[in-house]
Structure 1
Amino acid sequence: MSIYWDEGAMRNAGVIPTILAIGDSWFWYPFPGGSLTSYLAPLVDTKEHVILAKGMNGAEAFDYVEGKYKRSVNDALRLYGSSLSAAFISGGGNDFAGLNDMRPLLNLDCTDAQSAEECFRSGDSGLSGFLLRMDQHYRTLIGRIYTHTSLDCKIVMHSYDYTNPDGRGVFGSDGWLKPALVAANVPEALRQDCVRYLIDAFHDMLAAITPGDPNHLLLVDSRGTLGPKDWANELHPKGTGFRKIVNRCWKPVLEDAGLA
């Protein structure tokens, strides 16, 4: 087995991880078809790597550095840091998904908006402030990884993809994006554009981090990879979608880094 979501099972198997995957539901998605890590594991297994996953469904970037997964992540880095060839990070999606998270990023009433940009608030309480907080969370986590790992350790981040805010949740629940867009009176014709604008802004934030150490900080750009039929709901691809992102976007980056 090349991936463990349960650290106890990994220890019982007598193996030590060489990749730490710190992530949200894109690493932990529990439904049939699997998650991103389900397809990353056999890819890195070709180089005899073992992945240990930390985080959980619903995890936010804040949780890895100051929240409920801080201790778990720090302990894993302390215990296994010297053996790690890479750390994969998936965080930020849950920070802007959901009525309570996305609604504050949008203006009070977007009825007359002519573009996606006009729908988003600026300032500390708007999109720019959100991106600044994401930048700080990522840089804090990267710094902690640096202090526990060797100079050869790669840190791989990713930028999700352009989902369709159609209101599809899990088990018939409301989605994570459409309710906020509806509450802000975003015209239906602009809702997809708003998602693209948000994902692009998030990607640009990550892209501004990597030049600080381009040999070790790697960014997988998976935007525009999936079509409407590749999504299980508003936030998660189907298994075939995750596999498509791994094969088209992650594989070239990991091969170039010698991890696959």
Structure 2
Amino acid sequence: MRRRSITRTSWIQQRVEAFVRAQRRSPKALRVLAEGDSWFTHPTALWKGKSVIGHLQAYRSINLVSLAAPGDTLARYPDPPNRQWALACNPDWLAGQTYDAVLISGGGNDVLGDHLQDMIKDKSRYSNRSGRELIITTRLQQVMDGIATNVGLIRKTINQHLGSETPIFMHGYSYAQSDGRQFELLGGLISFGPWIQDRLHEQNVTERDEQQDIVNALIDAFNDLLKALEARIENFVHVDFRPLLGPGDWDDEIHPNASARQRLAAHLRKVLTAYPV
């Protein structure tokens, strides 16, 4: 456990120090601290194109420190138990610098992750219902309540380290595709997923249209929550990605493809630079 903590401290320190050097070269760049899941880090293979974070880092107008890691859920983001915020905001490493904005990618694994099937009725027992009618609304509300709590804790964490005036930008994903596709590397020797279709099959939801209707309803519910939080939480901004992606914009069930990632990064850049900081 101690060795892992030292390693984490080391890589965060290296990124913060690189951020400080870059800011000295481009003092007018927007200073951004990002935390997130695989929507920020995908793909893991460089020959598959840049990640969303990679595209953002390529912009001269943005200087960014990323703490993102695939598979993260929102419960892992606040301090404690995750000390990454405190490390990334270490004043000794920042050497007089700070962050103008915080960028969050999170909640997708909470909504479409390991417990997706727990939110869906067994179709074999509810044959008179279809698509989104199979969502167990009480369990979905529990998930949304947990997300709202963790977003509030993230806001408190940012207030502690950077101040309440620092804006938080959080996106709501887009309509993932329940088509059973995996993300493959080396001709399929290495693969990840699928993430959605198998879990819906466990609940005997086998029709593709029904599966997609469920996914769309869950993504809409998540975006509705973020929109509501935008009205309740100071300097919290919901970024809506849904209009930007279509069914053909995906590498697999849940990750945008190369052209889509570039499009998402361009939109984030536009939103970040337009906000008064």
Q: TM-score range by the shorter chain?
A: 0.7 to 0.9
Question: If the length of structure 1 is used for normalisation, what is the TM-score?
Answer: 0.84
* Paired residues for 1:52-201 under 5 Å: 52-65=65-78, 70-79=82-91, 83-98=98-113, 100-109=114-123, 112-123=127-138, 126-171=139-184, 172-188=191-207, 189-201=209-221
Q: State the number of aligned residues.
A: 246
Q: 1:58-110: CA deviations, max 9, x gaps?
A: 11111112686x11223324545971100001111112334x32111111336
1:254 and 1:146 map into 2 onto residues whose CA distance is 19
134 and 213 in structure 1: CA distance in 2 versus 1, 3 angstrom threshold: closer
95 and 6 in structure 1: CA distance in 2 versus 1, 3 angstrom threshold: same
User: Among 248, 253, 256, which residue is 1:237 paired with?
Assistant: 256
Where 1:107 maps in the other structure, the secondary structure is coil
What RMSD, in angstroms, separates the aligned Cα atoms of the two structures? 2.6
Where 1:219 maps in the other structure, the secondary structure is strand
113 and 26 in structure 1: CA distance in 2 versus 1, 3 angstrom threshold: farther
Aligned-pair CA distance for 1:6: 4.2
1:59 and 1:195 map into 2 onto residues whose CA distance is 19
Aligned-pair CA distance for 1:255: 2.9
71 and 77 in structure 1: CA distance in 2 versus 1, 3 angstrom threshold: same
| Residue matched to 1:25 | 38
Aligned-pair CA distance for 1:27: 1.4
Which structure has the bigger radius of gyration?
A: 2
1:114 and 1:71 map into 2 onto residues whose CA distance is 45
Aligned-pair CA distance for 1:41: 2.3
Question: If the length of structure 2 is used for normalisation, what is the TM-score?
Answer: 0.79
1:10 aligns with 2:15: yes
The answer to whether the 8 Å contact 2:41/2:51 transfers is yes
1:210 aligns with 2:240: no
Letter in 2 for 1:178: Q
Structure 1's unaligned 5+ residue stretches are none
Aligned-pair CA distance for 1:119: 1.1
1:203 and 1:114 map into 2 onto residues whose CA distance is 24
Where 2:205 maps in the other structure, the secondary structure is coil
1:219 aligns with 2:234: no
